[in-house]
Amino acid sequence: MALVLNEEQRLLQDTAREFLQQRAPVEALRKLRDSRDATGYDPSLWREMCELGWASIILPEAYGGLEFGFAGLGLVVEESGRTLSASPLFATGVLGASAILLAGNETQKETLLPQLAVGELTLALALEEHHHHRPTHVETRLAAEADGYTLNGEKCFVLDGHSADQLLVVARSSGEPDSSNGLTLVLVPRDSAGVRCTRTVMADSRNAANLQFDQVRVPAEAVLGRVGEAGPLLEQVLDRGRIAMAAEMLGLAKESFARTVAYLKEREQFGALIGTFQALQHRAAQIQVELELCQSVVLQALSTVDEQPQQLPLMASLAKAKLNELAKRVTNEAVQMHGGIGVTDELEIGFFLKRARVAMQILGDTGYHKDRYARLCGY
C-alpha cells in the first residue's frame, strides 16, 4: 500500500487547492456567516465543483462517475479543510453517494447517482438522535402499512439537512434500541408532508439541522436495500465518512500550522522574532512530527476503502481518533502562539479552532473510536 501520491492524484490535489483558494477561501465562509445565508453555501460554487467531477469521484462510469477511487475524493476533502469550504461535498459526495452505492438496488443507482454526479441532487444522512455518537441507538420507527411505510421520530445534527433535496433516514423497523439488527435506510424528500426541519447555528458555521418526522408516508421503493438489514451497510458508510472527516481535519491542521509558522517568522517580541524562541521551536517541531504521522495514517485509511475493505473498520477508527487529537492540539497551539489576537474574530485562525471542535464530534469523538479500536483488536 503506497503512502505517496501518484502523478494523477497530485494533479487532482493541486487542482483542488488552486480552485478552493480562489473560489472558496476562509473569507467566503465569513461572508456566509455574517450574512446569515439561508442555504449556508454558494449553489453556484457547488455546481462548479460538480463540473470538476468532485461529486462523482467515487461513482462508477456507468452512472456518470469518474471512478477515480476514494483516495482521490479524500484529497479533495483534505483541500476543502484547508479553506473551510462550505459545500454539500461531505454530506452528498461522501455519505450520500456511499449509501446509494452500497445499499441501493440497480434501479435506485441508475436513477439517483447520475443526478448526484451533475449536482442535481443533494443528500443528507439523518442518523444521530443524541448529543453523542451512538449509531445503533435508533428510536425513529418505520412501521409497515398496506401501501408502504410510516416514519415517526426525531434526528439531530443532520449535516446539510436543511438544504438537502432528499434525506437518507436511518430508522428502526424491528428490534430494541442499541441493536444493530432491525435498522432500515429510507429516502425521504425533505419537503414531504410531516417532515419538520429546523436549521441549527453551529459554532463553526457548518450547516446542520434537527428533523422531526410525524406520520411521514414512505413508499416501498424508497427503501435502500432490505428492510431491517441496513446495519452492516450503514457501518461501511459511516467508516467511509469517518475517514473522509479525518482527511478534512488533516487539511485544517496543515493550514493552521502553516499560518502559525508564518506568524512566528514575522512577529517580534523583546526585539527578536518569536520564531527564534527555543520553547516555541520545540512545540512547532513536535507538531510537525505529528502531522507527518497523521498524513501516513490518512493516506493508508483512504487506500483501505478501495484496496483492503476488510480492514476498513480498524483504519477508520484509527484515523478518526488520531486526527481528532491532532486537530485539537494544532488548533490549540495555533491560537496560543498567535497570542491575544488569536482569540479575536478579526483573525481567521479562530475559524480553524471552531471547525476542529465540531469535526471532532462528527461520527464519533476520540473516546468512542479508541474504545472501538480496542474492541476490534480483541480487547
- The yes-or-no verdict on residue 301 having pLDDT over 80 is yes
Residue 95 belongs to a domain with what CATH number? 1.10.540.10
pTM metric for this prediction: 0.96
Whether pLDDT at 3 is above 90: no
Q: What is the pLDDT confidence band of residue 1, given thresholds at 50, 70 and 90?
A: low
Paired strand residues for 273: 268
Residue 1 lies in a domain: no
Task: Say what the pLDDT of residue 270 is.
Answer: 87
| One domain for residues 99 and 138 | no
pLDDT digits (tens, 9 = 90+) for 114-123: 999 999 999 9
Distance (Å, whole) CA 125 – CA 108: 16
- Predicted confidence at residue 340, as pLDDT, reads 85
Regarding whether 369 and 281 lie in a shared domain, the answer is yes
Domain count, the chain: 3
Give the end of a domain, one of 228, 262, 297.
228
The yes-or-no verdict on residue 335 having pLDDT over 70 is: yes
Last residue of a domain, one of 228, 251, 277: 228
pLDDT at 362: 97
63, 112: one domain? yes
CA–CA separation, 164 and 158 (whole Å): 10
- The domain that holds 193 is classified in CATH as 2.40.110.10
For the ranges 87-91, 106-110, 199-203, which has the lowest average pLDDT? Answer: 199-203
Which whole number is the average pLDDT over 24-51? 95
**Are residue 241 and residue 344 in the same domain, yes or no?**
yes
- State pLDDT tens for residues 260-287: 999 999 998 888 999 999 999 999 999 9
Grid cell listed for 221? 421503493
Residue 16, pLDDT > 60, answer: yes
pLDDT value at residue 2: 63
What range defines the domain where residue 135 resides? 125-228
Confidence of residue 177 (pLDDT cuts 50, 70, 90): confident
pLDDT of residue 208: 94
Q: pLDDT of 216-265, one tens digit each?
A: 999 999 999 999 999 999 999 999 999 999 999 999 999 999 999 999 99
Same domain, 219 and 300: no
State mean pLDDT over 146-174: 95
Average pLDDT score over residue span 77-104: 96
Domain boundary among 206, 228, 250: 228
